[in-house]
Amino acid sequence: MNGNEKSPKDGPRAQPPFGRVVNITKTFQAGGNTFPAVKDVSFQFRKGDLISLLGPSGCGKTTVLKMMGGLVPSSGGLIELEGRVISAPFPGVGVVFQAPTLMPWRTVLSNVLFPMEVLGKNDARANKRAHEILNLVGLDSFEHAYPRQLSGGMQQRVALCRAIIHEPSILLMDEPFGALDELTRLEMNDLLLDLRRVTGATVLFVTHSISEAIYLSDQVVVFSKRPAVIVKELTIDIPYPRSAKTRFLPQFTEWERQAGVALGLVHQ
Amino acid sequence: MSRSISRFFYPLAGAAIIVLIWHYYVVLMQVSIVVLPTPLQVLKSMIDNARILTEEGWVTALECVYGFALSLAIGIPIAVVMTYSRIANQMFYPLLVASQSIPKVAVAPILLIWFGTGIKSKLAMAFVIAFFPVVVDTATGLRSTSPDLLELARSLQCTRLQTFFKIQLPSALPSIFSGAKIAVTLSVIGAVIGEFIGSNEGLGNLLLTANSQLNSPLVWASLTVLSVLGMILYGLVVLAEKLLMPWAGDVDLKH
């Protein structure tokens, strides 16, 4: 049932994993009935990994993500990060949504600094870091612009900066590039990999794009339709940095096929 | 360029057409000055009575501004309480809605008994008539905060006060302003009703007095000043909106 058999390429895991999810379940109540949304999901990951949760729309993968951030309580099972059991929001988590979700009344810089402000760490150092990461995503000249003056892709880059400003140990991304056009999306994929390299953050990435999941990830967890059950786990051992060429590697196509089969899109 | 010209040109042209029709109707149909003075007679009356119109206008303006301020100062907190306390909402929201079915004019005599013929009863009338849209629009604004932003706040473990002041209140600001724009025009109506019911000053009182003397040009002059007053107050709210919400401007850097 649980799909976390170790791939031999991972090598032996001597120390406990950075994060693990053990048999988590989520049921929703509606009108006296209970609906299972997530069923017996288990997987684990190492520090600095990028894990994609891949599945059809509305399958419950977002719920898994929210449970991992302590934003939604689970109905059963265990979530552990760095040895701590997660059941409520905790410091050190960054979130990115499908929509940029910026505050229209704040400038780009002020949006990025929002987490630092709330955490009471909005000092010169935070400001310097904000400049650095805005520079990294190519928005340093837009610091004083308002969100509505930016394109969707630019806004999402600001949202990315906001999510990493407080150096979270884990970054939760809920279909962050799903609303963008294909070209912007490819660009954002590379940007995300760059940011991860620089920050060393562990990333959990929800998507319904097979190629995006494989391109970005160390590990892809494939979910079935609702209720979400893990139907396949892929370890993507293409070395980083990845590039456009990566997409044309034979393994890449093979993983796409395997994920397609697991999702019931491709028949064997 | 031509857009900014047409923004002023068309409304002015529209007004000019109406004024011309008015003028020629009165002249050609030989309407009595008591029934309907010509625009020029109204203008002349405004110039002749400039001092009294300014003085009375000032009184009415103050009533409006105070009544409007009161409707914000009381309406916004009511909306906040209604939004965050389900019990308060259930207890008082139906009453609040029911109170709006009472014709406000009918309340005026009561307010007169409570607050006398001075400015207080006008202010109360302006408040009674203007606060409801403030409550409704503020509550709508507070409820329509983006759920994702609230989730962000939770993930950062914002306190309730932080969430309110940093996210919900600014999110509601556009709605608060749309309520305020309605309220400010209603406050003019409220002030004039108050003056009609019992007062010895203000434009409403001047209008009634002129009416009883069959001084129609002065009636129309008072009306004109009232409408200008309403437009100025509305313009001030729009100005405040622009100043408080600079992000909502129409600058565009997208390329």
> ipTM greater than 0.90, yes or no?
no
Q: Which of B145, B171, B247 to mutate to test binding with chain A, by most A CBs within 10 Å of its CB?
A: B247
CA distances from B211 to A167, B196, B206, B207, B218 (A): 73, 12, 8, 6, 8
Which residues of chain B are under the pLDDT cut of 50?
Answer: 251-255
Query: Quick one: how many helices (H) and strands (E) in chain A?
Result: 7, 10
- Asked if residues A116 and B156 have their Cβ atoms less than 8 Å apart, the reply is no
Instruction: Write down the pLDDT at residue B203.
Output: 94
Hey, is the C-beta of A150 within 8 angstroms of any chain B C-beta? yes
Minimal-distance CA residue of chain B relative to A88: B155
Instruction: Please tell me whether residues A88 and A203 are part of one structural domain.
Output: yes
Does some domain include residue A29?
Answer: yes
C-alpha distance from B240 to closest chain A C-alpha (Å): 15
Decide if pLDDT at A2 tops 90.
no
* Sheet with strand A84-85: strands edge to edge: A33-45, A19-30, A76-81, A84-85
Tell me which of A114, A133, A167 is where a domain ends: A167
* Mean pLDDT across chain A: 88
Nearest-Cα distance to chain B for A258, in Å, is 33
The string of DSSP codes covering B201-249 is SSHHHHHHHHHHTT-HHHHHHHHHHHHHHHHHHHHHHHHHHHHH-GGGS
> What pLDDT, on the 0 to 100 scale, is given for residue A229?
87
A260 domain-assigned? yes
Domain assignment present for A8? no
Q: Which of A114-118, A216-220, B105-109, B210-214 has the lowest mean pLDDT?
A: B105-109
A167 touches chain B (CB under 8 A): no
| Same domain flag for A176 and A246 | yes
Burial state string for A41-78 with b = 16 or more CB within 10 A and e = fewer than 16: bbbbbeeebbbbbbbbeebbbbbbbbbbbbbbebbebe
Beta bridge partners of A248: none
Range of the domain at A265: 16-92+170-181+193-268
Beta strands in chain B (DSSP E): none
Please give the residue of chain B at the shortest CA–CA distance from A155.
B254
Does A105 contact B247 at a Cβ distance shorter than 8 Å?
A: yes
Which pLDDT does position B152 carry in this prediction? Answer: 94
Condensed to tens digits (0 to 9), the pLDDT of residues A223-236 reads 988 888 899 999 99
Q: Is B156 close to A118, i.e. CB distance below 8 A?
A: yes
Nearest to A259 by CA among A226, A202, A212, A193: A212
CA distance A193 to A212: 12
Chain centre distance of CA B173: 17
Task: Give the CATH number for residue A23.
Answer: 3.40.50.300
Q: Give φ, ψ of A167 to 5 degrees.
A: 50, 60
Q: How far apart are CA A167 and CA A199, in angstroms?
A: 7
Q: How far is CA B209 from the centre of its chain?
A: 24
Answer whether residue A240 is part of any domain: yes
The whole-number pLDDT of residue B249 equals: 67
- Based on the fold, state whether residues A61 and A177 are members of the same structural domain: yes
Cα A151 to Cα A160: distance, rounded to the nearest angstrom:
14
Q: Considering the domain boundaries, does residue A52 fall inside one?
A: yes
CB within 8 Å of A87: residues ≥ 6 apart: A70, A73, A74, A79
Interface of B with A (CB under 8 A): 146, 148-149, 151-158, 162, 166-167, 170-171, 173, 245-248, 251-254
User: DSSP state, A70?
Assistant: T
B chain contacts of residue A72, beta-carbon cutoff 8 Å: none
Q: What is the pLDDT of residue A209?
A: 92
Which residue type occupies A230? I
Chain A: closest CA distance from residue B1 (Å) = 22
Nearest to A19 by CA among A118, A75, A96, A90: A90
- Which is it for the CA torsion A104, A108, A112, A118, positive or negative? negative
φ and ψ of A23, to 5 deg: 50, 45
Instruction: Compute the nearest-CA separation of A105 from chain B (Å).
Output: 5
| pLDDT(A192) > 70 | yes
The three-class DSSP label of residue A105 is: coil
Among candidates A205, A209, A203, A221, which has minimal Cα distance to A247? A209
| Same-domain check for residues A84 and A203 | yes
User: Within 13 Å, how many C-alpha atoms sit on residue B46's CB side?
Assistant: 16
Q: What is the DSSP secondary structure assignment for residue A98, as one 8-state letter? A: S
In this structure, are A107 and A229 located in the same domain?
A: no
What pLDDT was estimated at residue A15?
63
Is residue A136, in this structure, part of any structural domain at all?
A: yes
Same domain for A121 and A78, yes or no, is: no
Last residue of a domain, one of A167, A202, A227: A167
Chain B interface test: which of A118, A167, A173 (most B C-beta within 10 Å): A118
Contacts with B, A 109-128, CB within 8 Å = 114-115, 117-119
Are A175 and A254 contained in the same domain? yes
Q: With H, G, I as helix, E, B as strand and everything else as coil, classify residue A2.
A: coil
A60 touches chain B (CB under 8 A): no
- Whether residue A177 sits in one domain with residue A76: yes
How far apart (Å, rounded) are the C-alpha atoms in residues A80 and A59? 23
CA of B162 vs chain A CAs: smallest distance (Å): 7
Of all residues in chain A, the one with the smallest CA distance to B148 is: A101
Same domain, A71 and A125: no
Tell me what pLDDT residue B7 has: 82
pLDDT of A210 over the 90 cut: yes
In a domain, residue A2? The reply is no
* B144: closest CA of chain A, how far (Å): 13
Whether A1 maps to a domain, the answer reads no
Contact between A103 and B151 using a beta-carbon 8 Å cutoff: no
| Domain co-membership, A249 together with A150 | no
pLDDT reported for residue B8: 85
Question: Are the C-beta atoms of A71 and B151 separated by less than 8 Å?
Answer: yes
* pTM score, whole prediction: 0.83
Kindly state the average pLDDT of the residues A227-250: 89
Nearest CA in chain A to B162: A118
- What is the rounded distance in angstroms from the CA atom of residue B43 to the CA atom of residue B59? 21
Whether B248 sits inside 8 A of A118 (CB atoms) is no
A21, A133: one domain = no
- Total domains present in chain A: 2
Q: Based on the domain organization, do A205 and A264 belong to the same domain?
A: yes
- Inter-residue contact A103 to A112 (CB < 8 Å): no
Question: What's the start-to-end Cα distance of chain B, in Å?
Answer: 21
Give the mean pLDDT of A57-76.
89
Alpha carbon distance A33, A23 (integer Å): 22
Contacts of A118 in chain B (CB under 8 A): 153, 156-158, 162, 166
A71 touches chain B (CB under 8 A): yes
- Quote the pLDDT of residue A14: 53
